[in-house]
């Protein structure tokens, strides 16, 4: 997991979830406080998982609610700080079809090593055979952020002014499937 992600998450916790002591959260999650997260460095997925689980437990809030709130916060953060990424695409479909390349470009700039077990195949976007303006996002990660990904897709669609139906299918790692599937059916594209 790229350090930028947990850093944005901790900003979300402080500003939206009223966690006043991120250092205490990190300590409880077993993350060395003195080290923190550097935006451009890759960290083990287990640290993200511990941070997320600990935040939910400390707040007494379900993971689904925290993941939903964080997805909305993350989209706003990226839109405000990295707007050029959205301007590079004509519409939400072209953006979403490029998600694996965007992810791999960001993560791929980091040096891959034994201590950086980054998996470049966590995310795939493929056309749905039955529909012309439809894709399936296939997500396979121990971080189980499929709800986050579906909400992010909805926000991207709304940002571009497109209309689409986003369905998080029953094929989900949280239910024991080998990967998660999110189907998107565009009705109107800009």
Cα distance between residue 26 and residue 50, in whole Å: 9
pLDDT band with cut points at 50, 70 and 90 for residue 116 = very low
Asked if the model's pLDDT at residue 21 lies above 60, the reply is: yes
Question: Edge-to-edge, what's the strand order for the sheet holding 180-188?
Answer: 123-127, 134-139, 180-188, 163-168
pLDDT score at 95: 93
Inform me whether the pLDDT recorded for 19 exceeds 80.
no
pTM of the predicted protein model: 0.86
Query: Is a pLDDT exceeding 80 seen at residue 119?
Result: no
Q: Where residue 115 falls among pLDDT bands split at 50, 70, 90?
A: very low
Mean pLDDT of the chain: 86
- What pLDDT is stored for residue 107 in this prediction? 65
- pLDDT of 149 reads 94
- The whole-angstrom separation of Cα 109 and Cα 101 is 12
How does pLDDT run across 150-172, given as a tens digit for each residue? 999 999 999 999 999 999 887 89
Least confident of 91-105, 111-125, 133-147: 111-125
Q: From CA 79, how far away is CA 175, in angstroms rounded?
A: 32
46-105 pLDDT per residue, tens: 999 999 999 999 889 999 999 999 999 999 998 898 888 888 899 999 999 998 887 777
User: What does the DSSP assignment read for the chain?
Assistant: -BTHHHHHHHHHHHHHS----HHHHHHHTT--TTT---TTSB--HHHHHHHHHHHHHHHT--HHHHHHHHHHHHHHHHHHH-THHHHTSSSHHHHHHTHHHHHHHHHHTSPPBTTB---TTSEEEEE-TT-TTEEEEEE--TT--HHHHHHHHHHHHHHHT-EEEEEE-S--GGGT-SSEEEEEEEEE--
């Amino acid at each position: 997991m790229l350090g930028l992600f947990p850093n944005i998450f901790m900003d979300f916790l402080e500003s939206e979830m009223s966690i006043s002591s991120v250092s205490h959260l990190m300590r409880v999650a077993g993350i060395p406080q003195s080290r923190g997260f550097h935006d451009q460095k890759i960290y083990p997925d287990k640290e993200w998982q511990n941070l997320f689980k600990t935040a939910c437990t400390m707040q007494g809030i379900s993971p689904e609610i925290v993941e939903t709130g964080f997805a909305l916060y993350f989209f706003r953060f990226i839109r405000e700080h990295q707007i050029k990424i959205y301007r590079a695409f004509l519409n939400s479909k072209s953006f979403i079809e490029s998600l694996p390349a965007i992810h791999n470009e960001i993560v791929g700039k980091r040096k891959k090593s034994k201590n950086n077990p980054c998996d470049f195949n966590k995310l795939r976007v493929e056309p749905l055979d039955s529909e012309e303006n439809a894709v399936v996002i296939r997500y396979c990660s121990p971080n189980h952020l499929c709800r986050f990904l579906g909400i992010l897709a909805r926000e991207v669609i709304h940002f571009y002014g497109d209309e689409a139906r986003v369905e998080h299918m029953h094929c989900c790692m949280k239910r024991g499937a080998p990967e998660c599937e999110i189907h998107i059916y565009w009705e109107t594209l800009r």
